[in-house]
Structure 1
């Protein structure tokens, strides 16, 4: 198989049909689909099986694995990775959907460029409309790695096609038990890639029905997860590169805690203040990041919370509450 697609399934009965159809109708034929039932308590699996039955030509390419208890997203990805046989691996979240030529386009770019990793743009999809999310292009893995650490290139798993041997040879897995920030794992893969390719087109639809979901559902466990995952990434990078990326690693810590500023909750601003204070002096040095984002962090650093809250109300709520919804 050219591509192994790993799809964790948990409480997605509202979305699974659209997701599965967009996968099974892909124009690339040599694909294996690995659905991982993470002990979902709803009708997701029944609906999935009904969809699969409508594609008898794909049936032999579909594997359905089951967890006896809910183990979380990272563990489900690992379960899929353990049985994947494709030359490349693609991760799809089961509440999202793909353009029908996504896998073919990504694989062609990888094959022609002999790339270990290919990434592309994506659509941020709301109830009524979508926003095109442009990604930066880089010609080398190191430049891409610096882009991710600086916060200008997202380390999402679902817009990237990764050569499977990168996982296997480097024993890279997702952080089982630490779901928040688990996609930081992409950074570890880029750090070991020999060649990368950027495809400047959006194929993936990332469904976001509640733009404020993070600040509303945040828990202490989320903080534990994020700190654990960030620590793993920094330890890995230090082992690989020593102090070569010292400045970029400070930018990374700023990016990790940045979501705590996208809210009107002052308690979150104070949490931002307490997290990784050693990174704050680097705020204005991150020239890759927009001046607006740097200024927002600088204001938080200087305890100007009124300005941070004003930004959230006037800008963020306007963009994701009025323009995109």
Structure 2
């Protein structure tokens, strides 16, 4: 049984897969299982991956390349990976990102030494040329506080900087249905079932942000679709949170998640139909302004939009 299983979805990443694969194959932890999952990619990503693998013959027996029957989306791909991983611990890696060569060794050794269920590390937010900033990934070793910090977006709920004990993956009873917010649904269920979190204060993961990507030039239809996906995944998560947080705490969380899912609407908030939809979700959430855990930038966005001060909102944005 390998020490760590790495789950890597593959779709449309022929420009980046070599960089990612090399960083994975050069890990200083030897005993690793790599699950590369081809989501019926239309490009040469898999061919490039196989060419890189030739240069790392000692990794060949550790690599599984699985092809989905149909293009299923990242949520379904990661679900397959979790269900088929055989390692003591599981972690994810996006195929357009890359990692430090010591990442998995350091995190695994930390997990064993401290008997942790989850180990978290910092990450870099980068455009691939210069690092934009280092992002701190943990402010508390309390599982409940860690969940709250994720819900309030003080820390990332991404799966790729969290090494998870394989047995804990069985705590994921509800799998996300959509791409937007899928990490949120999975990670929060895992942390709610976690007994001990350990933290490595080093940025071992490099999250690639392409400033020219389609994510920054979204159409109206794409923004609406992202809202609907976030809405769907949020509705999956709320009943689970209601069982863990009660009273005032849960009501605050529910409002924060309601706000989070409406963020894709803000791109076209000056248009009547987008504003009406946003307001229908947010009209009863004015108390967010007084919640000390909500980021100031979110409060400002809320006020500008609710007052329909669109010129100021657009200039600020």
TM-score by length of 2: 0.90
Unaligned stretches of 5+ residues in structure 2: none
Cα 1:309–1:203, aligned 2, differ >3 Å: closer, same or farther? same
CA distance in 1, matches of 2:295, 2:35: 38
Contact 1:110 1:116 in 2 (8 A): yes
Q: Which residue of 1 aligns with 2:161?
A: 159
Cα 1:156–1:211, aligned 2, differ >3 Å: closer, same or farther? farther
Q: Which residue of 1 aligns with 2:127?
A: 126
CA distance in 1, matches of 2:309, 2:268: 13
Deviation at 1:31, TM superposition (A): 1.0
Cα 1:3–1:173, aligned 2, differ >3 Å: closer, same or farther? farther
Residues 286-301 of structure 1 mapped to structure 2, 5 A cutoff: 286-301=291-306
Deviation at 1:175, TM superposition (A): 1.9
Is 1:239 aligned with 2:243? yes
Q: Which residue of 2 aligns with 1:113?
A: 114
| Cα deviation 1:276-320 (Å, max 9, x = unaligned) | 3255223223323432332222222222222221111xxxxxxxx
Is 1:280 aligned with 2:285? yes
**Among 138, 141, 160, which residue is 1:139 paired with?**
141
Contact 2:269 2:305 in 1 (8 A): no
Cα 1:156–1:45, aligned 2, differ >3 Å: closer, same or farther? same
> Which runs of 4 or more aligned residues in structure 1 lie more than 4 Å from their structure 2 counterparts after TM superposition?
none
Residues 21-32 of structure 1 mapped to structure 2, 5 A cutoff: 21-32=22-33
Contact 1:89 1:164 in 2 (8 A): yes
Q: Which residue of 1 aligns with 2:253?
A: 248
Deviation at 1:24, TM superposition (A): 0.6
CA distance in 1, matches of 2:191, 2:105: 21
Cα 1:156–1:197, aligned 2, differ >3 Å: closer, same or farther? same
Q: Which residue of 1 aligns with 2:181?
A: 181
Cα 1:259–1:136, aligned 2, differ >3 Å: closer, same or farther? farther
CA distance in 2, matches of 1:289, 1:200: 24
Q: Give the SS at the match of 2:198.
A: strand
Contact 1:280 1:301 in 2 (8 A): no
Residues 58-137 of structure 1 mapped to structure 2, 5 A cutoff: 58-131=59-132, 132-137=134-139
Cα 1:258–1:221, aligned 2, differ >3 Å: closer, same or farther? closer
Q: Give the SS at the match of 1:203.
A: strand
Root-mean-square deviation (CA, aligned residues, Å) is 2.2
Q: Give the SS at the match of 1:293.
A: helix
**More off after superposition, 99-108 vs 42-51:** 99-108
Contact 2:256 2:288 in 1 (8 A): yes
Q: Which residue of 1 aligns with 2:231?
A: 227
| Cα deviation 1:32-74 (Å, max 9, x = unaligned) | 0000011111111111011111111111111111112211111
Contact 1:122 1:159 in 2 (8 A): yes
| Cα deviation 1:102-138 (Å, max 9, x = unaligned) | 1112212222222211222111111432222223421
Q: Which residue of 2 aligns with 1:305?
A: 310
Cα 1:275–1:12, aligned 2, differ >3 Å: closer, same or farther? farther
Unaligned stretches of 5+ residues in structure 1: 313-325
CA distance in 2, matches of 1:47, 1:271: 47
Cα 1:275–1:101, aligned 2, differ >3 Å: closer, same or farther? farther
Contact 2:227 2:264 in 1 (8 A): no
CA distance in 2, matches of 1:76, 1:165: 19
